Chain A
Amino acid sequence: MKQILIISGKGGTGKTFFTGCLATALNNKVLVDCDVDAANLHLLLHPEIKETHDFTGGKIASIDEAKCIQCGACKEVCKFNAINEIFQSFQIETLKHSRSVIPSLPILCHSERQRRISSSVFQVDELSCEGCTICSYVCPEEAITLNDRISGQYFISETRYGTLIHARLGIAQENSGKLVTKLRELAKETAQEKGCEYVVIDGPPGVGCPVMASMTGVDLVVAVTEPTLSGMHDLMRVIELSKHFNIPVKVVINKHDLNTEMSSQIVKAVESSGIEVCGKIPFSEDILASVKAGKPFLEFTKNSLTKEIEELIGKIT
């Protein structure tokens, strides 16, 4: 079994279009959409979802208001500014008032921390909490518990092109690296069960943690790039990363004729780092139309370009 990862460094270079081509051209494979932030492959492959699972990654703190004595210790230790102190001005006023009426009232005025008591409410900002759990250690009242954070869902689906493993990450969730790892494990298992020849992975954009998670242990990285300055820039970072993991890379330049000069610059830069540019795909209205129609290009039309792409895929696999 061979695991092929399609990656781009930068979004919008035609990574998913190319994965769609592989989905049509290769037999006997499992497909994985590892772009969990903004999965798109399903828009081409039209999966029928067979299984849905919650993905729990990390923890999230929650404060039990009944137990909380508003000491503020949790806020003090939180390095992520995830604990908000919401002042209740009404109570501050009444406090001042009662103190001025009965000055002898010993209440809560002997220290800064105690002054805060009963004048505010502490809440966890779910978007900022990173689940480090430290607040729960310092809370004297054990008012903070950490719950599993459901950070997304993943699906096992059937498509005309084979099994598709994909996911959706919730807003502001991290751990996309972990989710990617999960998807890849599932894909590998499924491929082994079904005796598939290939696992084709539509990778996440960028060079961050999810990209690294999608790269470990693959047999080949196909980097799809555009002939732009930023495309080249990002491509070189992806190549650097693949080298770091010791994985062979092949480069495809999409829309190469939009800037032939930049294209040849990319070819030069890539080849000087010992890597092959195995194909150039011209800009084509047909490709755009196939994406708009939500169909893999190789199925959408048959012309000289589809033939070229089929040959290119032959070189990769």
Chain B
Amino acid sequence: MVISVASGKGGTGKTTVAVSLALSIENSQIIDCDVEEPNVHLFLNPEIKQEIEVTSVVPEVDKEKCNLCGYCSKVCAYNALSVIKLDSSGDVILFPHLCHGCEGCILLCPEKAMKPAHRGIGMIKIGSFDSLEFIEGRLNISEVLAPKVIEKAKAYAKKDKITIVDAPPGTSCPAVAAIKDSDFCILVTEPTPFGLHDLELAYEVTQALKIKSGVIINKSGDDWLIEGFCRKNKIPVFLKIPFHRKIAEAYSKGIPLVKAMPEYKEIFQKIYKEIREII
């Protein structure tokens, strides 16, 4: 079973929930899919056993075969290739950051002058913390192919474990790549107009992907805004975490919620049970 934890925006306590849930249930693994800023490791300090590079395919030109016809640059939808022809020589120039690895240029070059090469765009780290398995995807700085790293990280998940996915914030490609294929999605939000707005967006994503969802309200207070929205859309509210200095302080020191306040362990186990009943 795969449960993803998402939020329209960062900083709502998504990682807190994901880490605490993973620590509360047995036979679990956590995948940090927030590849632009993976933070789960800060709370778990896992022992890393394996590091795997994530690569993307880029074309490599065989200068002997290439006749500088320029077709590849026409084919590339992302303007990642530019062919320069001078009188006696020339060059095919690749802008690797723009390349999406579609391999179209390689496939369609009339001279078969291109072959696939690989370029590192990120890293997968695999390890564990006590009995909790840990997988992290990390995108190299200034790279953009986050979905690729996310998909790769997810591919390392063990099928027989309960998988908790810490999704990146937002509603664009990376968030969708992380949430896709989940059995359930927990949406973490805060009871402010900002929080509601972001929750609406995140909920839309789960709707588009046809994934059932439930809400956890963090920094709970006057929750009527959020509760009204949940009632209207028939989304269960699993938990309200009050704003508590102790929680904020533990968070700031990188201590998981269930470690700082063990009474939450049971609560998260109950949430897990509820989720199992829903799906």
Contacts and interface: CB of A to CB of B under 8 A. Distances in A.
Interface size class of B (residues with CB under 8 A): 35 or more
B78 interface: yes
Contact of B104 (A132, A176, A292): A132
Given A205-B169, A227-B252, A127 B176 contact: yes
B141 A230 contact: no
B173 to A, nearest CB: 5
A291 interface: yes
A233 B37 contact: yes
Given A38-B201, A133-B104, A172-B172, A10 B253 contact: no
Contact of A131 (B42, B77, B144, B194): B77
Contacts of B197: 38, 40, 43
B11 to A, nearest CB: 2
A228 B43 CA distance: 11
Contacts of B146: 208
A212 B97 CA distance: 12
Contacts of B123: none
Contacts, number: 164
Interface in A106-144: 127, 130-134, 137-138
Interface string B34-59: 00110100100000000000000100
Interface residues of A, number: 55
A205 B252 contact: no
A79 B204 CA distance: 27
A294 B194 CA distance: 9
A43 B190 CA distance: 15
B42 A229 contact: yes
A171 B204 contact: yes
Contact of B141 (A169, A171, A237): A237
Contacts of B78: 132
Interface in B135-181: 139, 141-142, 144, 146, 168-176, 180
Contact of A10 (B37, B103, B222, B252): B37
Interface of A: 9-13, 16, 37-38, 40, 43, 58-59, 77, 79-80, 127, 130-134, 137-138, 169, 171-174, 176-177, 205-209, 212, 226-231, 233-234, 237, 240-241, 244, 258-259, 262, 288, 291-292, 294
25 contacts: A10-B11, A37-B8, A38-B171, A38-B198, A43-B193, A79-B101, A127-B180, A131-B77, A132-B77, A132-B104, A134-B103, A134-B104, A137-B108, A171-B176, A172-B176, A173-B173, A205-B169, A206-B36, A226-B11, A228-B254, A229-B254, A230-B37, A233-B37, A259-B253, A291-B192
